Amino acid sequence: MNFLESAPRFLFFTGKGGVGKTSLACATAIQLAEAGRRVLLVSTDPASNVGQVLGVSIGNKITAISRVPQLFALEIDPEAAAQAYRDRIVGPVRGKLPDSVVKGIEEQLSGACTTELAAFDEFTALLTDSEITSAYDHILFDTAPTGHTIRLLQLPVAWSGFLEAGKGDASCLGPLSGLEKQRAQYSGAVQALADGQRSRLVLVARAQSSALREAARTHGELAAIGLTQQFLIVNGLLPEDEAALDPLAKAIYGREQMALAAMPDELRAMPRDDVPLKPFNLVGLDALRQLLLETAPQPDTAGEPVELRAPDLSDLVDDIAADGHGLVMLMGKGGVGKTTLAAAVAVELARRGLPVHLTTSDPAAHLTETLHGTMAHLAVSRIDPHAETERYRQEVLRTKGASLDAQGRALLEEDLRSPCTEEIAVFQAFSRIIREAGEKFVVMDTAPTGHTLLLLDATGAYHREVARMLDAKGGRYTTPMMQLQDPERTKVLLVTLAETTPVLEAANLQADLRRAGIEPWAWIINNSVAAARPHSPLLRKRAQNELAEVEKVATIHARRYAAVPLLEEEPVGVERLLQLVAPVREAV
C-alpha cells in the first residue's frame, strides 16, 4: 500500500461519510502493530464506532487492545471532554468568586461551542504533548466525516490567529478563559499538521462521482492550511470478474469505472491505492486483518437467492403527505444516503402538488447535484456555515454595534471573528428554516450523526435559556426544541444500511434523540443488496449478511420502517429520484 510506505508518526483518515474510514484506520493500526510498531488509534468523530469495529469497549481513555499487542485506542468523547474542560476552568475559582459569577461562567461553558473546543483541546494535545506522543511510533486519527473534519483541522489555525491577535470577549468568555493558556499547544499543532515528515492525510473515497468530488475539495481546503502530504484510497471497488455474473454487478462495476475515468485531475496526481469490496462485514479483528490483503477468501457460490420482503419508501411518503405540512428530518451516519432519500421524499411530495422546502445542514452536502434539475412546488437551500456566519456578523454589527463608539465597535468586530460565532449563526439559520414547517413541508437532510448532535445540543441550550427567562415571567413560548419534540409537527427518519455498524449507530442515535425527548418516526434501510435480489456470488453473500440486520430493525429498533434496494442506476436527477417512491403508485 502506497500510503503506508515510510509512514510518518501522524496519519489522518478522512473523507465523505460511509466510505470506510474507520475500517481502514482500524485495519492499518492492526497491520502496523502486528509489524512491531507501537500504535495509538484515536477517533475524533463525535459519533465514534471504533470500539464497535474492533469489537472492544474503548471510551474516552487510552485502552490496550488485548488481542493485538502494541495497539492502543482512544475515542474522544466530546461530552466527557467538555465536562473535564469545564472542571479545569471553573474548579480554581469555585469558592473564591461569588456564586453568581461562577454560575455565569458555567452557563457560558454549557453550549456546543465548548463541547467542540474541549474535543479539539484533546486533539491538539495528541499532536503536541511529548509525554503522550513519545510513547508511540504512530498515532492514527479516524476522523469525523469531511465537513466536520475540515473544521477540526482548521481550528488550530483559526484559534492560533485569534489568540495571537489578543481577541475575544463577550460571546466566548467562558471557552476563551481556558484557551489563552493553550496558545503554545495550538501553535505546536499547526506546525505538526504542516510538517510532511510528521503528518500524512489519507483521503478515503468510493468510486462514486460525489465522493471523488468531495475528496478533491477536501484536498484543496486542507492543502491551503499546510496539510500537503496527502494520499488517496479508493475503497470498496467491485472486482471485474463479478460483473459478468449479474446485471446489477455489471451496472455497479461500469458506474465505478466511469467515475474513476472522470476523476478530478488533482486526485489523479496523488499517490493512490485501490481496495476491493469484500463479501463480509468489516467488524472484528479477523475481518479487519483481511481488508488490506491483495487476496481475500472468496464467497461460496452455492446457496439460494436471497429474497427480502419489506415495506417500501412509498408507504412512508403516503403517511407523511397526509399531514399536508410539517418538518421531515433525515438523520444518520455519514454515507448512508440521507441526501438522496431527503431529495426523493421532497420531489415526491412536490409531485403531488404540495409546497416543499428541501434544505440541508450538512457542511459537505450535494443536494443540487443529487436533484440535477428543478420542479414546481420545490424550493432548495443549504445552510452554508460561512454565509450564515457573515450574515450573523453583519446583523450584530447593525444592531449591537450601532450605538458603540469606534473603539467599542472594533472590539465587537474582533469578538465576532471568534470561531464560536459559527455555532450561533448555524443554529439561527436552522431555527429560521424549521419555522416554515407550519405552512409547508420542510425536508431537511442533516449532517452526519455527530455534527447533528452538536446542533441539537445548541438547540437544547437555547431552549433551556428561554425557559429559564420566560417561565419566571409566566410567558408563553415555543422553541425549536419544542417543535422537534412534537410528533404532530416533526417526523424524524433514521437512515441506515443493513450492516452491523450503521444499524448500531442508528440505534445509538435513536437513544440520544429519545433522551432529548425526540421520538424517531421511522427507519429507512437504504441501498439494500438483499432487496435488489442479486445473482453475483459476492453480492449474494453480502445480501445474506444483511438479513439479520434487517430483522433487528424490524423487530427491535423501529416502530415502522422501509427498505430501498440498491439500484443499477445511481439515483441522480428528479426522474430517478421519483422512481425510488414509485412502487405503490405503479401498483394502484
Q: Which residue has the higher pLDDT, 170 or 177?
A: 177
3-state secondary structure of 67: coil
Nearest to 335 by CA among 208, 501, 448, 203: 448
The model's pLDDT over 533-588, given as tens digits with 9 standing for 90+, comes to 898 999 999 999 999 999 999 999 999 999 999 988 888 899 999 989 876 434 33
What mean pLDDT is predicted for residues 79-108? 77
CB-based contact 571:564 (threshold 8 Å) = no
Q: What is the mean pLDDT of residues 120-144?
A: 82
Report whether 567 contacts 577 (CB < 8 A). no
List every span in the chain annotated with CATH 3.40.50.300. 2-291, 313-396+429-587
Give the H/E segment covering residue 206.
strand 199-206
- What's the mean pLDDT when you consider all of the chain? 82
Radius of gyration of the chain (CA): 24
Q: Name the pairing type of β-strands 561-565 and 71-75.
A: unpaired
Q: Cα separation of 355 and 352, whole Å?
A: 9
Confidence of residue 330 (pLDDT cuts 50, 70, 90): very high
**Which of the residue ranges 162-166, 210-214, 342-346 would you say has the lowest mean pLDDT?**
162-166
Name the grid cell of 548.
439479520
Q: Give the pLDDT confidence score for residue 384 in this predicted structure.
A: 84
Other CB atoms closer than 10 Å to residue 403's CB: what's the count?
8
Q: What is the pLDDT of residues 377-405, one digit of tens each?
A: 999 998 888 888 888 889 888 988 888 88
Estimate the share of the chain in helix, then strand, then coil, as percent rounded to the nearest 5. Answer: 55, 15, 30
Three-state DSSP at 166 gives coil
Lowest mean pLDDT among 259-273, 354-368, 396-410, 455-469: 455-469
Instruction: Give the mean pLDDT of 244-257.
Output: 92
Average pLDDT on 118-146 reads 79
Residue whose C-alpha cell reads 440541508 in the numeric block: 360
C-alpha cell at 586: 405503479
**What mean pLDDT do residues 186-201 have?**
79
pTM tops 0.85, yes or no:
no
Band (pLDDT 50/70/90 cuts) for residue 47 is: low
CATH class held by domain 2-291: alpha beta
Cα-based distances in Å from 71 to 36, 389, 549, 581:
10, 41, 29, 46
Count CA within 13 A, CB hemisphere, residue 434.
29
User: Confidence class of residue 460 from pLDDT cuts 50, 70 and 90?
Assistant: low
Which three cell numbers mark 573? 436527477
- For 117, other C-beta atoms within 10 Å of its C-beta total 27
Average pLDDT (333-352) is 92
How far is residue 397's CA from residue 400's CA, in Å, rounded to a whole number? 6
For the annotated catalytic residues, the residue numbers are 18, 20-23, 45, 501
Cβ contacts of 335 within 8 Å, gap of 6 or more? 16, 17, 18, 19, 145, 448
CATH, domain 313-396+429-587, list 3.40.50.2300, 3.50.50.60, 3.60.15.10, 3.40.50.300: 3.40.50.300
